[in-house]
Amino acid sequence: MRKNQTDKLRLAIIGLGYVGLPLAILFQSKGFDVLGIDNSMEKLECIKSGKSYLSDFTDDEFKRLSESINFNTSTTYEGIRSVNVCILCVPTPLNKQFEPDMQYIESAIDSISPFLGNGQLIILESSTYPGTTEQFVLPKLIEKGLKIKTDFLLGYSPERIDPGNSSYELKSIPKLISGVTEECKQKIEMLYSQVFDRTVLVSSPVVAEMTKLLENTQRFINISFINEMAILCNGLKINIWEVLEAADTKPFGFTKYSPGPGIGGHCIPVDPLYLSWRAAQQGMGSKFIDVSKKINDEMPHYIIKRIRELLEVNKQLQFNNGKLLVIGLTYKKDVNDVRESTALTIFKKLLKEVASVDYYDPFIPEIYIDGRSYSSISTINENLQDYDCVVILTNHSNIDYQYLVKNSNIIFDTRNQIKGKNPNVIAL
């Protein structure tokens, strides 16, 4: 696997979601021959027809990918026989007991193992608990009768993607890498250095796995802390946003985090729980993570409490008789992802407690909840006065917030999107 020999390298990327597909596009754009494998025929049809299912990519980008001569897709795994590299980008959720659910990694191993044996390099990119690569993936492959070094090589390189953030190109984000042997490390570094501006080689997969969890756990704890400060400041009748702006003038020792309705997405609220589970397996505690999870779990209840107070105090209206408009259901702005979204959790609770609730989200035109379909209102440019309160849960960039201010009765802004003093806007 030599540099600038992309014509001799063929990659298979397992899982074409928000991690796998951008990676496939990056390798394809650098001249690698890429096979994208996914169990979802719907995704493959979208790629074929040039219809983007990821908010960071346009239909035109999907169309160019489908028309390229060095990118193919499949729902089957026979093509693994002819690839040099197999990158696993599959989900790693938690089960109902908040334990790592390894079924997708295990299924991927089961699917590729019959076609290994030619020394293929296998790289896991999914976020997971420390020890997964060497204590779970490696033994599973060996159980299949495969031998490390001769039949396959193995390493880990955690994804570092921030959906909705156009400030960083994927190739510009330093790529953390490691392997289970020195040869594995060498081959992984040779591969990724051809498409990423910088690679960061660490001593072992467990260090890379822990690094990924440390990055996300730090963010989880800090946002949870700021959310608790927002609750405290509201109780003391202090503007948390003014406090944060003032604190941010300190040139050292302070990092600004913003409060909101709760932490969502597949990574930030999930990854720390891999770590707390792993700590418990070793008989250790993880107090910061436990407290942070408790704060995050309570945020939807707090947001609804604030909405209730706004209606009953400002409008002299019984909460359950209100008519509300929720702005945004996704877990963060400018994405079409509702996984672990606290905005969606709040919307679901409001549906059960309030007489009338509509939502507006240009990224989620329709959503199914408990077997029923709900559709986003088509525009916010009409009938805003009909709503007793507009609740901003996700601050998408393509919304005219000044129009909201001018035409709404009361706005509860959980993101501080609307700056300045407006008498009908209440910030978190």
CA separation for the pair 70, 78 (Å, rounded) = 17
Distance from the first to the final alpha carbon of the chain: 54
Beta bridge partners of 200: 176
Q: What single-letter DSSP state applies at residue 344?
A: H
C-alpha to C-alpha distance for 367 and 300, rounded to whole angstroms: 19
d(CA 414, CA 226): 13
What is the rounded CA–CA span in Å between residue 409 and residue 51?
38
Nearest 5°: CA angle at 145, between 143 and 146?
100
Q: What are the residues whose beta carbons fall under 8 Å from the beta carbon of 97, sequence distance 6 or more? A: none
Whole-angstrom Cα distance, residue 95 to residue 102? 9
Using left for φ > 0, alpha for ψ between -120 and 50, and beta otherwise, residue 101 falls in beta
* Class of residue 276 by CB neighbours under 10 A (exposed 0-12, middle 13-18, buried 19+): buried
| Cβ proximity of 124 and 137 under 8 Å | yes
Between helix 240-247 and helix 205-235 the angle, nearest 10°, is 130
Amino acid in the structure at residue 288: F
- List helix spans (H) across 6-83: 20-29, 41-49, 59-67
How far is C-alpha 110 from the chain's CA centre? 26
Which of 184, 233, 267, 389 is flagged as catalytic? 267
Question: Which H/E stretch holds residue 112?
Answer: helix 103-112
**Residues paired with 114 in a beta bridge:** none
Q: Are 2 and 84 in contact (CB under 8 A)?
A: no
> Is position 233 annotated as part of the catalytic site?
no
* 15 Rama class: left (phi>0) / alpha (psi -120 to 50) / beta: left
The span from the CA of 128 to the CA of 156, in Å, is 10
- The values of phi and psi at residue 375, to 5°, are -115, 140
Active site residues: 267
